[in-house]
Chains A and B, each alone.
Chain A
Amino acid sequence: MDLAILAALNAERAARRPAILVTAMEGGAQRLVKSGEFAADPLADLLDRQLRSGKSALVETGGASYFLTVQAPHPRIVVTGAVHISQAMAPMARLLDLDLVIIDPRTAFATPERFPDVTLLTEWPDAALAGLGLDGYTALVALTHDPKIDDPGLEAALRSECFYVGALGSRKTHGRRVERLAAAGFDEAAIARIHAPIGLDIGAVSPAEIALSILGEIVATLRGPRRPPA
């Protein structure tokens, strides 16, 4: 492996950008395919499939075999609201190997007792999100019902490449949210990125069930549609 290729792979990882190293098993020729170059690559379909799975793999195509070293940033969920639903979400996210960050400036809600072993940021979303850097491997979930806390998070998410944006609230609540976002300058397509009502429609009632429906929707968005077996 060329040191320059290895260094570039490491740099992409440090920047939380996806990249795939393609190694031809015959002859050992290598190339690094970076974010934005996947669609134009001769192996585009295979790269897309592996990127979604997040796993390295040996693939065969056109009579040749290639090893794909897949480097996908670790997916994470950023939640505004240290509420009952996010309490239920914390252990579930851990089981799913999804990083979780909870933002809530209300220190009565955001306590280590209520959220053991969770990254808690007791700042306003504007300040907290500036430090986190939302990217294409981040999901933003707004759970407070309070526009003062949720809206700045949603606005930051809509300006970013977040793979998932969801907001809790009834259709009426969301209607008012849409009006506020439109007034803030977001167009229809941008606002349509918000999953609302949030979560898969499984008839969720309890906080844990709502957390499950949200996480189900996030995993479905992350992994993409089911493909028929090859």
Chain B
Amino acid sequence: MISTDTDILSLAEAWTRAGRGVALATVVETWGSAPRPVGSHLVIDGDGNFQGSVSGGCVEGAVVEEAAEVIGDGKARMLEFGVADDAAWKVGLSCGGRIRVYVEKVN
């Protein structure tokens, strides 16, 4: 059972050592009632497999999509999700909170 954020970091290391393209997403800031605390991780591989969570399911799909870009060009990105950002992002947090997620490649 992969449950804690520290397990996710071990998994990120294992996936990278296995030769998979890997991105690590981290919640770096939250406002309002965000579902997952700052420091929560999601690890994503080049095939779109992922473990962990940054929002409890609301925005993982968008993070996984963006992670493919990060794995492709190696450039880290800052993503922001929330009800105030519906114009920028098609997905939002139903709880009304806002989060910023940092996505970086592991290599």
Contacts and interface: CB of A to CB of B under 8 A. Distances in A.
Interface of A: 1-3, 6-7, 9-10, 13, 23, 25, 28, 55-58, 67, 69-71
Interface of B: 6, 9-10, 12-13, 16-17, 24, 26, 28-29, 37-39, 76, 78, 102, 104-107
Contact of B12 (A6, A13, A71): A6
B78 A1 contact: no
A87 B104 CA distance: 46
Consensus secondary structure, chain A interface: mixed
22 contacts: A3-B107, A6-B13, A6-B16, A6-B24, A7-B13, A10-B9, A10-B10, A13-B6, A13-B9, A25-B78, A28-B76, A28-B104, A55-B37, A55-B38, A56-B26, A56-B38, A56-B39, A57-B38, A58-B28, A58-B29, A67-B102, A69-B26
Given A10-B13, A58-B29, A3 B106 contact: yes
A1 B6 contact: no
A56 B102 CA distance: 13
A20 to B, nearest CB: 11
Given A1-B105, A71-B6, 5 more contacts: A1-B107, A6-B12, A7-B13, A23-B104, A28-B76
A70 B12 contact: no
A55 B39 CA distance: 8
A67 B10 contact: no
Contacts of B9: 6, 9-10, 13
A58 B38 contact: yes
Nearest to B30: A58
Contacts of B26: 56, 67, 69
Contacts of B37: 55
Contacts of A70: 39
Contacts of A23: 102, 104
A23 B25 CA distance: 13
A25 B9 CA distance: 19
Contacts of B104: 1, 23, 28
A61 to B, nearest CB: 15
A2 B107 contact: yes
Contacts of B38: 55-58
Q: Which 3 A-B pairs have the closest CB atoms?
A: A56-B39, A28-B76, A67-B28
Contacts of B105: 1
A7 B17 CA distance: 10
B97 to A, nearest CB: 15
A70 B6 CA distance: 10
A69 B107 contact: no
A10 B14 CA distance: 11
